[in-house]
Amino acid sequence: MSSSSLKTKAKSNIRVGILGCGAIGSRIAKSIKDDGRAVLTGLFDINPAKSENLQKHLPQKNIVKKSYDELLHASDLVVEAVNAPDTRELVRRALLARKDVLIMSVGKFIEGESIFALAQKQGVRVLIPSGAIAGVDALKAVSQQRIDRITLTTRKPIYGFADNAFVQQKRINLSQITKETILFEGNVREAVKCFPQNINVAATIALASGARDKLRIRIATSPEFKVNSHEIEAAGDFGRLVTKTENVVCPDNPKTSYLAVLSAVRTLKEYFQGVKIGT
């Protein structure tokens, strides 16, 4: 279901297809080296210009696909990096085609039981990187005990919320914010719905802990914030857990932490090598 279920692939040169050639998909594509373990064999984006432009910056040639079906045919593993209304269906199609999938749009899978069950039925794997937070390994471990509560406080620079529909609906004037301001406080389902491009980490916490109904989310911004930070506090029979990460933003996408991309790259490296470190 997750990266914890990795097993060594028997064959070399695992074929990797990139679904979504924006900032995140592009950086992951550039990280894949043809080293006898993996080879980049496909790019697909609903906007052909994006995949064509990405290929110009890659050593691999003639890997742009005209359709998603072509991408699936050319891949053993699909990297999902689209965060679109039909993301779940795209992942489902990959699993039905017996492809392993690395999911970046984790917020789309807060209710992911059916997708994970399908992966198990098909004998394939769903990989979910830790993303922009620390402590996922510990949350997975303590999920075996009772968790009483979890809180996630996310703080991001003001420009990271530009064009956010929830902010606009609430008529929050970002230009008038002069100090730390709470934009949202509520449960994880509401958070990923209102901030689909900002709060994938909330879904990751919910899935790792198995305690989504005890998870509360706070999202704040301020002119003083220069980095994306995520602070987790959890308590239960296991004791108390507190982690905090302060991440520089992805150079190509201010709504994403660079650590999220690095986490995905590392997850793929362990998948290719068949060696997993950590819970």
pLDDT per residue as tens digits for the range 100-143: 999 999 999 998 899 999 999 999 999 999 999 999 999 999 99
pLDDT at 33: 86
Packing angle, helices 113-122 and 87-96, rounded to 10: 20
What's this model's pTM, rounded to 2 decimal places? 0.91
The pLDDT value recorded for residue 3 is 41
151 is in which domain, residue-wise? 136-247
Q: Is the pLDDT of residue 4 over 60?
A: no
- Same structural domain, 156 and 179: yes
Tokens 């857990």 correspond to 241
Who's near 258: CB < 8 A, 6+ residues apart?
247, 248, 249, 250, 251
High-pLDDT (> 70) share of the chain, %: 96
Q: How far apart are CA 117 and CA 124, in angstroms?
A: 10
List phi, psi (to 5°) of 261.
-70, -45
pLDDT digits (tens, 9 = 90+) for 53-96: 999 999 999 999 999 999 999 999 999 999 888 999 999 999 99
Q: What is the pLDDT of residue 9?
A: 44
Together in a domain, 68 and 163: no
The total number of structural domains in the chain stands at: 2
Phi-psi group of 62: left, alpha or beta (phi > 0 → left; psi -120 to 50 → alpha; rest → beta): left
pLDDT at 251: 83
> Which position among 230, 236, 260, 264 bears the catalytic label?
230
Q: Are residues 93 and 162 in the same domain?
A: no
The answer to whether residue 253 sits within a structural domain is no
Residue 274 phi, psi dihedral angles, 5° rounding: 75, 20
Per-residue pLDDT at 11 = 52
* DSSP helix/strand/coil, 82: coil
φ, ψ at 260 (rounded to 5°): -60, -40
Do 108 and 165 have their domain in common? no
In a domain, 252, yes or no: no
Dihedral through CA 126, CA 129, CA 130, CA 131, nearest 10?
A: -130
CATH of the domain at 17: 3.40.50.720
- Residues 188 and 122 placed together within one structural domain of the fold: no
Question: Residue 148: is its pLDDT beyond 50?
Answer: yes
> Tokens 């220069």, residue?
226
- Is 9 among the domain residues? yes
Active site residue 73: no
pLDDT in tens, 205-257: 999 999 999 999 999 999 999 999 999 999 999 999 999 999 998 888 777 88
Same domain, 142 and 235: yes
